[in-house]
Amino acid sequence: MTILPRGVGFATNKVTYDQPISLRFGYLVIAFRPARPGTRFSIEETHVPFLVPNDTQADLVLDCEVAPLRPLSGPVTYSAGRSWDLRRDEHGAETIVFRGGAEFGTDVWQLTLDSEFRHGKLVEAPVMPDRAVRADGYPLLEYIVARLLARHEGALIHASTAIVNEGAYVFVGHSGAGKSTIASIAESEGARIPTDDRTVLTIRNQQPMAWGTPWHGSLIRKSPEGAILRRMYLLQQAKDDRCEPLPPGRAVKELFVRLIQPRLHPTEVQLTLEVLERIVQRIPVAVLHFRPTPAAFALAIRGSTSARQS
Amino acid sequence: MISGFVDTVEYRRLDNYVYRLTVGEHLLVALHARSDEPLYALTPTGALLWERLGKWVTVDQLAEALVSEYEVSVHDARADVREFIDQLGLLKAVEQRGVAE
């Protein structure tokens, strides 16, 4: 596998479908259905591995179309600066407008979700020549998945994941922490890397899992693969390699601030913290002080506190 | 009233923060607000006051809660409450209103 520096990637091909599509992230399934006959869907080829059969039980069903966006009234509940605005009505239903194009100056998607986040409507403005609904649009899809995971025993975190002996080792950090670097080293040591930038965490039936995602990072291939979570590390570049175990309380806080969109609804905050509580009580979390060498990755797999320990 | 003064202001927490006791830590999480820190850690005393701030209360009433729960003087309890309220004010986590006499 070729690993390129951040921001230097091959332009991937877009794949267009004349039928509904469903995408899966961890256990979460999102179904994109046509709101009117003839609606087509497109995704980048990096997302193709995340397709599942359309008869897969969906957690969220979106009726989709390409059409002019309707004007919205009412106050904005939350705004993410230029990229999106969220309006929440008195019943808990939400409408989010995502912007794109130059300087985020164009309203591109209008997403309406019912209060339970079971059903919604997605309208894409007719800004692209092929007039297909871009199911993987950024930040649309990542936003949907992050919000839904909070309600389905999961979370989306800034982290790369290495799978070794069917166990997942998750390396957490904001941009520049070394997620892709440790992933590259891990891959050279034989690990499988389903993601080097965004990891889905789940805990179902008391079993913590980590899963790949299609977003960001430097890897050309992305994988939906998941594995039983063995250990989590906060990355800290250093002059030597060592593990610093984190007590559960601090681990929850450190992980929480590295999640994607966990703070948009009180219920999601509570559920997300509960997920992290359950995870840190079951698997070790530590700071990995590391140099970019295979020895650091080997230390992470062993889980000992010193590079000298065996 | 435990201070000898009449409180003329009541306080109540706002709903833009979420409290949770998580693995021994009292966390106060700011709902989406880009300029704020995402979360704060409360002391057990702060957590008690946060719980009492679920309804309109005066500084005296909050101080009474501390005095009844901890070995602390009324004077110190009032000072602690005022400091805590001031901190919550900076976070825009509390609202206030005048008390009709």
Nearest to A300 by CA among A178, A155, A208: A178
Residue B33 placed within a domain: no
Instruction: Order the strands of the B57-58 sheet from edge to edge.
Output: B57-58, B9-13, B94-98
Helix (H) or strand (E) holding A255: helix A248-256
- Read off the pLDDT of residues A192-222 as tens digits, 9 standing for 90 and up: 999 999 999 999 999 999 999 999 877 666 8
Backbone φ, ψ for residue A44 (5° rounding): -70, 155
Residue B31 placed within a domain: no
Residue A100 pLDDT class (50, 70, 90 cuts) = confident
CA distance A227 to A50: 16
Residue A132 makes CB contacts below 8 A (sequence gap 6+) with: A16, A40, A41, A42, A66
Q: What is the mean pLDDT of residues A3-17?
A: 63
- Read off the pLDDT of residues A154-189 as tens digits, 9 standing for 90 and up: 999 999 999 999 999 999 998 889 999 999 999 999
Q: DSSP label at A306? A: B
β-bridge mates for residue A168, sequence order? A163, A229
Q: What's the Cα-to-Cα distance from A143 to each of A117, A140, B22, rounded to whole Å?
A: 13, 5, 25
Cβ <8 Å between B38 and A263: yes
Nearest to B86 by CA among B63, B59, B65: B59
* Between B8 and A252, the higher pLDDT residue: A252
CA distance A35 to A39: 7
Q: What's the Cα-to-Cα distance from A269 to each of A93, A106, A150, A283, rounded to whole Å?
A: 17, 30, 8, 21
Residue A3 pLDDT class (50, 70, 90 cuts) = very low
Sign of the dihedral defined by the CA atoms of residues A130, A131, A135, A141, in that order = positive
Q: What is the mean pLDDT of residues A14-25?
A: 96
Which residue has 């997605």 as its token pair? A122
A278 contacts A153 by C-beta, under 8 angstroms? no
Interface test with A, best of B25, B34, B37, B43 (most A CBs within 10 A): B25
pLDDT of residue B2: 53
Q: Which residue of B has its CA nearest to A271?
A: B20
B74 contacts B82 by C-beta, under 8 angstroms? no
- CB contacts of B23 in chain A (<8 Å) are 248-249, 252, 277, 280-281
Residue B25 placed within a domain: no
Instruction: Order the strands of the A119-124 sheet from edge to edge.
Output: A51-52, A21-25, A28-34, A60-66, A119-124, A106-113, A94-100, A84-88, A78-79
Q: Which CATH number, 3.90.228.20, 3.40.50.300, 3.30.420.40, 3.40.470.10, labels domain A154-302?
A: 3.90.228.20
Q: Which residue of A has its CA nearest to B31?
A: A263
Indicate the residue of B24, B30, B41 with minimum beta-carbon distance to A263: B30
Q: What is the DSSP string of A269-290?
A: HHHHHHHHHHHHTTS-EEEEEE
Our CA-based measurement puts residue B42 at a distance from the nearest CA of chain A, in whole angstroms, of 12
- Read off the pLDDT of residues B28-77 as tens digits, 9 standing for 90 and up: 999 986 556 789 999 999 999 999 999 999 999 999 999 999 999 999 99
Backbone φ, ψ for residue A6 (5° rounding): -55, 135
Residue B74 placed within a domain: yes
CA distance A303 to A241: 12
- Read off the pLDDT of residues A68-97 as tens digits, 9 standing for 90 and up: 999 998 899 999 888 999 999 999 999 999
A83 and B CB contact within 8 Å: no
- CB contacts of A265 in chain B (<8 Å) are 31
pTM: 0.92
pLDDT of residue A187: 94
What part of A 178-197 touches B (C-beta under 8 Å)?
A: none
Helix (H) or strand (E) holding A181: helix A179-188
Residue B76 placed within a domain: yes
Indicate the residue of A256, A264, A274 with minimum beta-carbon distance to B39: A256
Residue A265 makes CB contacts below 8 A (sequence gap 6+) with: A147, A150, B31
Q: Which residue of B has its CA nearest to A274?
A: B22
Range of the domain at B75: 9-14+44-98
Q: A167-172 and A198-204 as β-strands: parallel, antiparallel, unpaired? A: unpaired
Residue B83 makes CB contacts below 8 A (sequence gap 6+) with: none
A205 three-class SS: coil
Q: What is the mean pLDDT of residues A137-162?
A: 96
pLDDT of residue A9: 45
Cβ <8 Å between B39 and A253: yes
Mean pLDDT of chain A: 92
Q: What is the mean pLDDT of residues A37-45?
A: 95
pLDDT of residue A104: 79
Please report, for chain A, the start and end positions of each structural domain, with discontinuous segments joined by +: 14-150, 154-302
A17 contacts A23 by C-beta, under 8 angstroms? no
3-state secondary structure A22-59: EEEECCEEEEEEECCCCCCEEEEHHHHHHEECCCCCCC
Helix (H) or strand (E) holding B81: helix B74-90
Nearest to A227 by CA among A201, A205, A252, A248: A201
Residue B63 placed within a domain: yes
